[in-house]
Structure 1
Amino acid sequence: MATPGDRRRQVRQLVLDAARARANDALTLKSEDCNKELFAPFSPSPVAVIDAVWAKIEGAQLSLTSNDLLVDLGCGDGRWLVSGVKRFNCSAFGVELDENLVKRAKDQVHREGLEHKIKVEVGDVMQTDISNAKVVIVYAFAESLSGIAEMLKTQLKEDTNVLSIGFRVTGWKPLWSEREGGLR
């Protein structure tokens, strides 16, 4: 008979196997619109994860100010952008490959009345100028992060913080790493 610990290990292994399969699929997918590689499928972050990250940033005295720019590479529905702007009163920019997600993000920005603070565009994260960012958010599978990391190194200032949600950037030492809602 399986113990609770055995069942947890089995479930964990199934989740990891599914994530690996999604990563492999994502690396081979192409956008029909612009024929660019997708680094990860859309997977909206739970509000608890977003709130925990912002609280950690505040606690580490890395908070954004009204003069700072928050960038989300692969912004999906814009939830990180909206939450960040509402919390820190900063400006924000999101880039997303999927036109339907960009529309959803823009609709959310409009509903919140934040058009003057948040800009969202359809585009390729690898071709986006993010050199003015104070904080960059990226959710991409580990296999995709090395290419993104190289782009970040060439564009970002030394004091820019990169939040890699879900996976660590190989070769980078994180300021912190923790799990929230199943994400690291």
Structure 2
Amino acid sequence: MRKFALLFAGVAVAGLASYPAVTAEDKDKKKDDRPDIVVPFVPTKDEVVKAMLKLAAVKEGDTVYDLGCGDGRITIAAVKDFKAKRGLGIDFNPERLKDCEKRVKDLKLTEDEIKKLTFKQGDVLKMTPEDFKDVDVVTMYLLPDVNLKLRPILQKGLKPGARIVSHDFNMGDWKEDKMEKVTVDREHTVYLWTIKEAGK
């Protein structure tokens, strides 16, 4: 158990330099530090997770970022089931990072899989194009307003061939390249965009 805890602690502090690990000081943040738009945590059904990663054609060697990662299920599936090289999940709520840790434990991931995972506390709207320069796939289940705010950042930062996949919400007038319907309890919509050239 101690070995696992140490591995997860190492994972928690890795990743983007602009997103510090959770500390006691973080827990005392004022309400003014909360993001402008708070996205409620609604877990994505496992069938939809699979559809998102499949539509994005996640493969071995890919780096996958999940924005608003919740309990980490998309990030973990990218590494465990689709063999991504690296999975990074970002969520503003430190309680969600605890959910990520629990999920990693419950799924009994291998040491190699755990090393490929990073979970960070941070506001996705404060990310910059530079943060996405080496990313192959971005996954999201956010809100329309958040998607629109992220759109220019992703378009500028992602390299040609990178993919963006969003659950239920589109990117305004940026026409998706593919769209898929998945019915699990209700009808879910999965949108895919592929960066054609730098900045677009």
Q: TM-score, normalised by structure 1?
A: 0.73
After TM superposition, list the pairs within 5 Å mapping 1:1-184 onto structure 2.
32=31, 34-57=33-56, 62-65=57-60, 67-90=61-84, 91-110=86-105, 111-113=108-110, 114-128=113-127, 129-181=131-183, 182-184=187-189
Which 4+ runs in 1 deviate beyond 4 A? Answer: none
CA contact (8 A) 1:97 1:122 kept: yes
Higher strand share: 2
Q: 1:178 is paired with a residue of what secondary structure?
A: strand
The answer for the alignment partner of 2:21 in structure 1 is: none
- Which ranges of structure 2 fall in alignment gaps of 5 or more residues? 1-29, 190-200
Shift of 1:155: 1.3
Note the residue ranges of structure 1 that are not aligned, 5 or more in a row.
Answer: 1-30
Match of 2:22 in 1: none
Deviations 1:131-152 (CA, angstroms, capped at 9, x unpaired): 2110000112212211111111
How many pairs align?
A: 149
Query: What is the aligned-residue RMSD (CA, Å)?
Result: 1.9
CA offsets, 1:87-107, max 9 Å, x none? 221110011000000111133
Deviation of 1:112 (Å) = 2.3
Task: Report the structure, 1 or 2, having the larger helix content.
Answer: 1
Tell me the residue number matched to 1:23: none
Report Cα offsets for 1:77-124 as digits up to 9, x if no partner. Answer: 000011111122111001100000011113323442432011000001
Task: Report the secondary structure of 1:183's partner residue.
Answer: strand
Q: Kindly state the Cα deviation for residue 176 of structure 1 after the two structures are TM-superposed.
A: 1.1
CA contact (8 A) 1:39 1:144 kept: no
Q: Give the number of the structure whose alpha-carbon radius of gyration is greater.
A: 1
CA contact (8 A) 2:66 2:89 kept: yes
CA distance in 1, matches of 2:104, 2:132: 20
Shift of 1:179: 1.7
Q: Give yes or no for contact 1:92–1:118 (8 Å, CA) kept in 2.
A: yes
Identity of aligned residues (%): 25
Residues 74 and 139, structure 1, Cα contact 8 Å, conserved in 2: yes
**TM-score between both structures, scaled by the size of structure 2:** 0.68
Residue deviations 1:54-87 (CA, integer Å, cap 9, x gap): 3334xxxx3322x220000110000001111112
Q: Which has the higher contact order (CA 8 A, sep 6+)?
A: 2
